[in-house]
Amino acid sequence: MIKAIRGTRDLLPPSTGAWNAVEQTARELFRVYNYQEIRTPLLEPTELFARGVGQETDIVTKEMYTFQDRDGSSLSLRPEATASVIRAYLEHHLDQQPGIQKLYYIGPMFRRERPQKGRYRQFFQIGAEAVGSDSPAIDAEVIEMVMALFEKLGMEGQQLVLNSVGCRECRPRYVEALRKELQTTAPGLCEDCRRRAVTNPLRVLDCKVEADQPVLERLPSILDHLCEGCRRHFEAVRRYLAQRGVAFEVRPRLVRGLDYYTRTTFEVVHGGLGAQNSVLGGGRYDGLAESLGAKLPAPGIGFSIGEDRLVMTLEQSRPALGAHRIDLYMAPLDEAAFERCSSMARGLRLAGRVVELAAPGKLKKALETANKLQARYTLIVGADELAADLYTLKNMATGEQTRLSRAQLESLHRQDLN
């Protein structure tokens, strides 16, 4: 028997109901913050991620699904969406549109990571990007929107953590100080940290190996190395968040794993996810457009939510999220009744009711099936009902039965059947 590829999975009912509920809530929230949807290809030139994400990042060096096309070009399945969004922003001259470009996306990404709790090789992200402003007020609004989404989803126990990773002026000085310190401490760290100490010292701070944490705590803090502009920017972001009542914790060793991040960086973590506890990551990327060939700056800030991990967390705390339920199970007892039910079912479905129409058959079997499907009501239609043009409606929770005319039945969409 052929099975799904390791690190991928099938999303099945009833879980897909929770996925749809999360995505619908996200779309509604993005709309009121004036974000519009963008859909980029799953396939992109490999160069896009090498230049945008970073040639020495784990994503590019170890995790991308990359292959050579028939024309000899190198293509990759997208491992993240921000670089694709900025590529589209530049290619289609969105900078010429009025105002800040506020864009959101929902879709699959691909990384060949080691599968673990909440992490898959085909995974899904919900993300948003605000491009065209370097104002700290935009940073605060984006973060406010993120926390509002979790609130609307009824999520509890999450924590916003915040940092600044500096800019092209001050970060190199910090990286050099970090590199110097790691020359003496890196030999005692894990294999990945020893490699990163040479290729990408900032990523050492992102290590999750428990034994390495005491060493990492003693490393220099980037907040002590910010230039005046970055320091003022970070102070403003914190002030605006406080004004909005958004709680946060500053973590000086919080970094993001991609090279394009500058200044504000943030994560939302949740205790129910174990050591890899981040459900969302984001930050500012003021130099990304230039690294992709833009002649003019296109400063921006965005985030991506790991939808797999978010849904998993919500299903534990809200098992009924997105639950699907049949409003009316129609039980025709013969062919003539089936014809009548078919006609009535169409009208009720157009009115928004969830209707399951059974094949003609025995009443006992129909009621058993309606119970198993947890239908709210069953409509019983046989020869007697057809002759009288009155139909038996049974409440499956109470057992109460009422007789309704077709006109009464077809007006049920205006009543509360719940």
pLDDT digits (tens, 9 = 90+) for 276-317: 578 899 999 998 898 888 888 899 999 999 999 999 989 888
Structure confidence at residue 417 (pLDDT):
59
- How confident is residue 412, by pLDDT bands cut at 50, 70 and 90? low
User: What residue segments make up the domains of the chain, in order of their start?
Assistant: 15-170+226-317, 328-414
The tens digit of pLDDT for each residue in 324-383 reads 899 999 999 999 999 999 999 998 998 889 999 999 999 999 999 999 999 999 999 999
Structure confidence at residue 201 (pLDDT):
85
Start-to-end CA span in the chain (Å):
42
Interatomic CA distance for residues 84 and 328, integer angstroms: 45
In this prediction the pTM is: 0.86
Structure confidence at residue 369 (pLDDT):
95
Pairing of the two strands 300-306 and 355-357: unpaired
- How confident is residue 84, by pLDDT bands cut at 50, 70 and 90? very high
Structure confidence at residue 276 (pLDDT):
53
3-class secondary structure, 214: helix
Select the more confidently predicted residue: 46 or 199.
46
Structure confidence at residue 257 (pLDDT):
60
Interatomic CA distance for residues 198 and 195, integer angstroms: 6
Interatomic CA distance for residues 200 and 281, integer angstroms: 19
Radius of gyration over every alpha carbon of the chain, rounded to an integer in angstroms: 27
Mean pLDDT for the stretch of residues 31-58: 87
The tens digit of pLDDT for each residue in 93-140 reads 999 999 999 999 999 999 987 777 667 899 999 999 999 999 999 999
Q: How many CB atoms lie within 10 A of CB 365?
A: 11
Structure confidence at residue 211 (pLDDT):
84
Structure confidence at residue 320 (pLDDT):
83
Mean pLDDT for the stretch of residues 25-47: 96
Cross-strand bridge partners of residue 159: 269
Interatomic CA distance for residues 163 and 78, integer angstroms: 27
CATH superfamily of 15-170+226-317: Bira Bifunctional Protein; Domain 2 (3.30.930.10)
Place of tokens 């010292």: 201
Report in angstroms the alpha-carbon separations of 63 from 1, 76, 120, 309, 408.
28, 11, 12, 19, 60
- Mean pLDDT score of the chain: 89
Taking the domain 328-414, which CATH number applies?
Answer: 3.40.50.800
- 345 in the Ramachandran plot: left (φ > 0), alpha (ψ -120 to 50) or beta? alpha
In the predicted model, is pLDDT for residue 56 greater than 60? no
Interatomic CA distance for residues 138 and 69, integer angstroms: 40
